[in-house]
Structures are given as structure tokens and as C-alpha cells.
Amino acid sequence: MPRYFYVSTSKEGETRKGTLEAENEKELAKALRNKGELLISASLEKSKKKLNFSIGGVSLKEKLFFTRNLALMIRAGISLPKALGIISLQAESPKFKDILIEIKERITKGKKLSESLKEYPSTFSDLFCNMIETGEETGNLEEVLKDLTKQMEKTYELKSKVKSAMMYPAVILVAMTGIGILMLVMVVPQLSQTFEDLGIELPLTTRIILLLADIVVIYWYLFLVLFAVLALVFRKVIKSRGKSKLIDKVLLKVPVVSAIIKKTNIAYTARTLSALINSGVPIVRSLEIISGSLSNYYFKEAMVSASKEVSKGKKLSEVLRSFPEVYPVTFSEMIAIGEETGETSSILEKIADFSEDEVTNITDNLSSIIEPVLMIIIGSAIGFFAVSMIQPMYSMLEGI
């Protein structure tokens, strides 16, 4: 409800100023008349928005904490506004704390929880809001929150496993790059001066390393600019996931990475669809929601097509058979069994469990696959550097 700054006069002719909430100026005048005052002028009070200095979005971990605790408090019979107030006190992120307080205020004024959550699309996805809305309509909000908690826990575990698997090679490559730069900056220039003083002819590999060292030492600022550009490009690529056909096509062809992407997306599709069906969300709407939350273009495209075809009367299993490159035949056949037996939701959950177990196996074995590759790369780099630096010395000794 808008808040007005007003000037009024009393029966005694005294001028008064103040602020008051009202639907419009007519209602404001009526409210003032009931107080024995006559409205002279009114203007909308400018809302004072809270400054929020937090950077980035709200983490999945915090949203999981919110969902789990809200389900527990509703089961305990605590009212929504009070539950949100308690959870906001425990929120680590200042941004999320402010969001929860604002949602609490909206609910206190009579808004539904789902309506309030939709005001924050960057924090609460369509999946989250639609499931909450279905829970409110069916009077089954506690069960919906439990399903959401389970779905988010599995998503969080899956993402954590993939990140952990990728962390090891990333750390090794960064360390190797750092050591290489230090060698080029500190060791190579000294050897270069020695070779120059000796006046010996240098092999091609040695000249390449010396040239690279000169470039790094003289034009170091260009490397900083290049690093910043690459970081921005990488960030843009990550944000554009699901929009770039080329990037996603390449990733689906890379060994090991392809398997992780496919199994992760299959697990997410199956578990999310199972949760939505359990919550009573219509199948077509469920597929639309999933298509909007998938990160890979080809999986997204399959779900968009599925939602359109299913709305025309086709079975989901029939549509997914047209996308064997992303959803394997076993996936569509299992769904077909679910459609025939009326157990689609439970079968989808089993598919999700199986796919998640496969991702776990891949990530657990990833280090044994990556270690030999990293050893070959590191060994080749060290060998190339050592041979290039020692070869001129051998040439000099042979000439003595």
C-alpha cells in the first residue's frame, strides 16, 4: 500500500503534517476526515530502499538450509511469518537475510508465500516457486518442502562431487604454470647471460625458451591484460551455458567430461521431474520448468520439444526416443514402463539414484585417469626445459 506525505488542517485551523498509508488520495482524505482533519495537499512518500553491499547470489547451501528448516518449523506448527523471522536471524548472507525479512513482511500483509518468492527470481527458481504454489493450493506445503529439500540435497551433493573432482587437476595446472613463470623470470635470464658471455651457438629449443623469457620479462603487463580478458571470457562462457550450441557440443565430445555432463543432466532431469509430479504440477508445466533450469543447450532443447509434443497428446517416452544422443534408450524405455504402470514418479527417482551413483563412480576414478595424463604433461614440460638449457653446455664441452 502506498504511503503519502500530507498537509492538513484541523477544525481549529491548525496546520498539520504527517505520513499515512492509503490506497489513493481519496481514501487518504477520508481517513483524515475521520480524524477531524481536512486534507490540503498530498504526495507519495519516496521509498527508502535498503542498501545491500553483498556480492553475488544466494548459495544453494543457504537455500537448502532455508527449505529444510522451514519444513521443520511448519511441522512444529510455527506460523510462516515467525518461521521466516527465525530463519532470517540464522542466515549467513546479508542479502538472503534482507530477502527473508521482506518476504516475511509481504506475508504479514496477506500475500502468499509463493507470490512473495516470485518477487526474487534470481534467488528462487521457477521450480522452487511452482512447487511451493502447488503445496499451498493442495494444503500440502510441508510435504512439498520435504521433496524440495531432498531434491536440493541431491543436487548439492552432485555439484560438490563434480567440483571436488575438477579441483585436483586445476590446482596442479595452476601450480605448474606458476613454477614455469618463475623459472622464465628468475632462472632463464641468468642462463641467457651465461650463454651470451660464452658466445656459443644455441639450438632452436633453447632460443625459443630464451625468447619466451624475454617476452614475459619485458611485456609482463600484456600477460596481466590477457589473463583478465581470459577470465572475462571464461565468465561469459559459464553464464552463456545453455545458449551456446558450439560450446555444449564440444563439451559433449570430450572424453570423461562428456560422461559427467550427460549423467549429471539425466539425474537432474529425473529427480526434478519426479519431485514436480509428486507435488501435483502438470507434466507439461513440469517439462517447461526443467527446460528453463538445465545448463546444456541440447538437454534444454530436448525438454522444450518434449513439453510441446506432450501438450499435443504424445507420451514423454515417445518424444525422448528422438533424442538418443542426450537421453539414452534406457531412459526413455524406463519412463515408458512408468507410464504403463502409473509409477512414473518412483521410476524417475530410481533413474536419478542410478545416474548419481554413476557420476560418483566417474568422479572417484577421475584422479586415477587424470594423474597419468598430468604426469606426462609435467614430465614433458620439465624434460623440454632441461634439455633446452643443458644442450648448449654439452655443445660447449664437446668443443673443448
State the CATH number of the domain containing residue 128. Answer: 1.20.81.30
Residue 374 confidence (pLDDT): 80
Would the pTM count as exceeding 0.75? no
Residue 288, in any domain of the structure: yes
The verdict on 197 and 181 lying in the same domain is: yes
Say how far apart CA 65 and CA 103 lie, in whole Å: 16
Examine residue 50 and state whether it is found in any structural domain, yes or no.
no
pLDDT confidence of residue 57: 67
More confident residue, 236 or 203: 203
Beta bridge partners of 15: 9
The cell numbers describing 313, all together, are 497428446
Give the structural domain span for 284.
154-400
Looking at residue 51, its pLDDT comes to 36
Tell me which DSSP letter residue 36 carries.
T
What region, left, alpha or beta, does residue 8 occupy, with left being phi > 0 and alpha being psi -120 to 50 degrees? beta
pLDDT tens figures, 110-165: 889 988 998 888 888 888 888 888 888 878 888 888 888 888 888 888 888 778 77
**pLDDT computed for residue 101 by the predictor:** 92
The DSSP-derived string for 158-201 is HHHHHHHHHHHHHHHHHHHHHHHHHIIIIIHHHHHHHHHHHTPP
- Specify if 95 maps to a domain: yes
> Are residue 36 and residue 183 in the same domain, yes or no?
no
Work out how many domains the chain is built from and give that number. Answer: 3
- Residues 26-51 have pLDDT tens digits of 777 888 888 778 777 777 654 443 33
Whether residues 146 and 158 share a domain: the answer is no
Band of the pLDDT at 242, cuts 50, 70, 90? very low
Per-residue model confidence (pLDDT) at position 82: 92
Residues 178 and 298 in one domain: yes
376 and 365 assigned to the same domain: yes
Residue 121 lies in a domain: yes
Same domain, 170 and 233: yes
> Torsion angle, CA of 337/343/348/351, rounded to 10 degrees?
-60
Q: Any bridge partners for residue 238, and if so which?
A: none
Q: Is residue 141 part of a domain?
A: yes
In this structure, the answer to whether residues 214 and 318 fall within a common structural domain is yes
Note the pLDDT tens digit of each residue in 345-380.
Answer: 889 999 998 988 888 888 877 777 777 888 888 888
Q: Is residue 55 one of the residues assigned to a domain?
A: no
Residues 73 and 38 reside in one and the same domain: no
Give the three cell numbers for residue 39: 486534507
Residue 51 lies in a domain: no
pLDDT mean over 55-78? 85
Distance CA 107, CA 125 (A): 19
Residue type, 163: K
Interior angle at CA 145, CA 144 and CA 151, nearest 5: 90
User: Do 202 and 82 fall within a single domain?
Assistant: no
Q: Are residues 104 and 161 in the same domain?
A: no
Domain boundary among 108, 124, 152: 152
Q: Is residue 342, in this structure, part of any structural domain at all?
A: yes
Considering 126, 152, 178, which residue would you say is the last residue of a domain? 152
pLDDT band at residue 70 under the 50/70/90 scheme: very high
Please check whether residues 275 and 358 belong to one and the same domain: yes
Residues 23 and 68 in one domain: no
